[in-house]
Amino acid sequence: MLALFALGVAFYLSGCQAGGEFTGREYMPDMAHSQAYEIYTPTRTLVVDEGDTIAWFNSKTSARKPVAGTIPRGYMPYHFDNTNEGYEAAGATLFNPLNKYQGDTVEYDRILTNAKTNFETHCAICHGNKGKGDGEIVKNGAYPAAPPSYFSATLMELPEGKMFHSIHHGKNLMGAYGPQLTKTERWEIVSYIKDMQADKISKDDKMSKEQALGLITNGMRYKQGGAAAAAPAPAAVVDNAAANTTDTVANNNLTAAADEAAKADAAASKSALDDLATQPLKAGQSIVLKNVYFETGSFRLKQESYKELNKLVSILKNNPKSKVEISGHTDNTGNASANLNLSQNRAKSVYNYVISQGIPKAALQFKGYGQTKPVASNNTDEGRAQNRRTEFRVLE
C-alpha cells in the first residue's frame, strides 16, 4: 500500500517540472494554452486556394487582410458620392432618424450628451465648443481657414442631410469623419448642432425651443428673420372675398416642371381654406390644401407652401375643439409602396410644420394613403395632378 502510494505521489509530482518554454506534464490541458499567433510576427500560414491545392503562405505578418469587399458587422454603406450632386441629393432626401426622439426627454438628452462628447473630441478644436468657429487651432493661428459659425445665415439654413453629408465626406478644408464616427454618432452630432441652432432661434425670435426645433428639423428650413414669415398669417391676409370652394385641385406635383407651373399660378389661385377663415369647422368636411408644394421626389416643404399652411394654422387656432387628419395622396405612377411612403412622409411634414406653429399635437393626425384614394382618372396628366394632393379632413 505504502509503495503504491509513493508511486502515485511521484507520478503526480512529475507534473510540476515546468520552466521556461516547457509547461510541465499536463493531464487535462483543454484550452489552457492559446494557439494564437502574434499578429505582427512573420509566419507561415496554410492557404487553401480555390483549386484545392494547399500551399504555405509566407507573410510578413500573421494577421491577414480581409477578403476584398468585406465590410464590418453593422456597417451600412453610404449611397451619396462626394460630389455636388451627392451633396444636393443628400440634402433633399436624408433626414435625421433621431428627430423622432425630440419629445422623449430622457432619450433626447442621452443623444445630446453623447454627441457633446464626440463633438468636443473631434470638432471643437476648429468649430469651438459653442460652434462659433473659434476653436483652439483657429484662435492660435495654426489652422489656415476659420470654419463658418453654425449660426451664420447659410449654416442656419443648412438641411440636416447636407450636414450629415459634409460630416461623412468632409468639405473642402474639413476632413471626413465617416471613418471616425459611426452613422449614429454622426446623426447625434447633427442633432446636437441643430439643438444649438434652435436655442438661438428660440432666443432671437422669442418662441419655444420645441417650436424652433420644429422649424429647422424634419426637412424644414429656417430663414434668418424668416421665422416671422413662417408664422401664422395675420387675419387680414386671409382673403375670403372670392374663394371658390369647388376648385380643390392640389398641386403637390412630383415633377419639377409641373412644380414650376404650379408656382406660377399659385399667386393668382384662391385657396379653399379662405372660406373657412370665417366659418366654424364641421366634422366630416374634407378640404384639399392648395398651394402646398414639396421638393421633387422629396417630402421637404417648399418655402411657398407656408402661406397656405399658415391659413390652416389660423383656422385651427379659431377652432380649438376640432380634430383634423392631414392626409397625403399620390397618383399611380411608380411603385405603390414607395408612393405610400412618400405620401406618409409628406403628410408628416405638414403635420410637423403645423405643430411647430403652436397647434397642440392632440388636435392633429397624419396619414399617407399613397395611390389608394384617387379623386380623378390616373389616365390623364390633369387627373394625375389632381390625385397628387394633401388634404385635411375634420374628424370631430
188-207 residues near ligand HEC, rule: CB under 6 A = 189
Q: Which residues contact 61 (CB under 8 A, 6 or more apart)?
A: 39, 40, 41, 42, 43
78 versus 369: smaller Cβ distance to ligand HEC: 78
The residue among 18 and 145 lying less far from ligand HEC, judged by its C-beta, is 145
- Using CB under 6 A as the binding rule, whether residue 123 contacts ligand HEC is answered as yes
Determine the Cα–Cα distance for residues 133 and 198; give it in Å rounded to an integer: 17
**DSSP at 166:** H
Window 342-371: residues binding ligand HEC (CB under 6 A): none
96 in contact with ligand HEC (CB under 6 A): no
Task: State which residue, 191 or 343, has the beta carbon closest to ligand HEC.
Answer: 191
Burial of 324 (0-12, 13-18, 19+ CB in 10 A): buried
Tell me whether residue 156 or residue 250 sits nearer to ligand HEC (CB atom).
156
Q: How far is the CB of 158 from ligand HEC (least distance, A)?
A: 6
Which residues touch 27 (CB under 8 Å, ≥6 apart)? 15
- Return the number of the residue (119 or 306) whose C-beta is nearest ligand HEC: 119
Among 80, 177, 187, 351, binds ligand HEC (CB under 6 A): 177
What values do phi and psi take at 52, rounded to 5?
65, 10
d(CA 214, CA 389): 23
Angle at 204 between CA 200 and CA 208, to 5 degrees: 75
Q: How many CB atoms lie within 10 A of CB 286?
A: 13
* Residue 155 vs 258, nearer CB to ligand HEC: 155
> How many residues contact ligand HEC, by CB under 6 A?
21
Q: Which is nearer to ligand HEC, 186 or 348 (CB)?
A: 186
- Applying CB under 6 A, among 126, 156, 272, 309 the residue interacting with ligand HEC is 126
Find the shortest distance in angstroms from Cβ 115 to ligand HEC: 9
Q: How many distinct helices (H) and strands (E) make up the chain? A: 15, 6
Q: Does 92 bind ligand HEC (CB under 6 A)?
A: no
Between 63 and 145, name the residue whose CB sits nearer to ligand HEC: 145
125 binds ligand HEC (CB under 6 A): yes
329 vs 384: CA distance, rounded Å: 11
Q: Is 122 in the site for ligand HEC (CB under 6 A)?
A: yes
The nearer residue to ligand HEC, 116 or 122, going by C-beta atoms, is 122
The 3-state DSSP class for residue 264 equals helix
Closest distance of CB 123 from ligand HEC, Å:
3
Which lies closer to ligand HEC via its Cβ, residue 166 or residue 330?
Answer: 166
Rounded distance between C-alpha atoms, residue 293 and residue 384, angstroms? 15
CB of 103 to ligand HEC, least distance (A): 24
By CB atoms closer than 10 A (0-12, 13-18, 19+), residue 88 is middle
Centroid of chain to Cα 115: 15
Residue among 223, 129, 125, 116 at smallest CA distance from 174: 125
- Cα-only R_g, the chain: 31
Q: Please identify, among the stretches 103-111, 121-129, 290-298, 383-391, the one whose residues bind ligand HEC according to the rule CB under 6 A.
A: 121-129
Q: Which stretch binds ligand HEC (CB under 6 A): 119-127, 241-249, 309-317, 357-365?
A: 119-127
Per CB under 6 A, the segment of 25-33, 75-83, 125-133, 381-389 that binds ligand HEC is 125-133
Three-class SS of residue 33?
coil
For residues 134 to 173, the per-residue mask of contacts with ligand HEC, x marking binding by CB under 6 A and - elsewhere, is: ---------x-x-xx------x--x---xx--xx---xxx
Residues 6+ apart with CB under 8 A from 64: 45
In whole angstroms, what is the distance from residue 182 CA to residue 204 CA? 33
Tell me how far apart the terminal alpha carbons of the chain are, to the nearest angstrom.
Answer: 99
Minimum CB distance to ligand HEC, residue 294 (Å): 22
Contact positions toward ligand HEC, by CB under 6 A? 122-123, 125-127, 143, 145, 147-148, 155, 158, 162-163, 166-167, 171-174, 177, 189
